[in-house]
Amino acid sequence: MRVQFKTEGGIAHFPGLSRPVLIDSAALTAEDAEELRRLVEAARFFEQPASASAPPRGAADYRRHTITVDTGERQHTVQVAEPVADGDLRNLIRFLEAKARALRRPE
């Protein structure tokens, strides 16, 4: 499974941090790959609409996430704005944020 994850906006928006990150389950530990699979299933990701939520009116400072999941058999992209009401989708985003931070960290 490959996941492209991008975050835009927010109060302290840094353009360099908004570039998409590719998270490949083949490059993760077995535990993390299984957790990613579980989170995608729990969020019912492939059942989510292309725009899962829109920011509230006047919410220019809220972050927006674009997530594309490709399993090899199917691919789906979802855009979601904070605050994320769906707890399972929020858990997936938090996991992806942590992995994106680790991938952007200089070695």
* Cα–Cα distance list, 79 to 1, 19, 49, 98, 105 (Å): 19, 15, 8, 18, 25
Q: Please tell me the predicted confidence (pLDDT) of residue 58.
A: 60
The domain segmentation of the chain, as residue ranges, is 2-100
- Predicted structure pTM score: 0.86
What gap in Å lies between CA 17 and CA 8, rounded to an integer? 8
What gap in Å lies between CA 89 and CA 44, rounded to an integer? 8
The contacts of residue 70 (CB under 8 Å, 6+ apart) are 1, 2, 3, 4
CB-neighbour burial class of residue 8 (10 A; exposed 0-12, middle 13-18, buried 19+): middle
Q: Which helix (H) or strand (E) holds 91?
A: helix 87-104
What is the chain's pLDDT, residue by residue, as a tens digit (107 residues)? 999 999 987 655 555 556 899 999 999 999 999 999 999 999 999 999 999 766 666 655 688 999 999 999 999 999 999 889 899 999 999 999 999 989 877 65
Q: Please tell me the predicted confidence (pLDDT) of residue 19.
A: 82
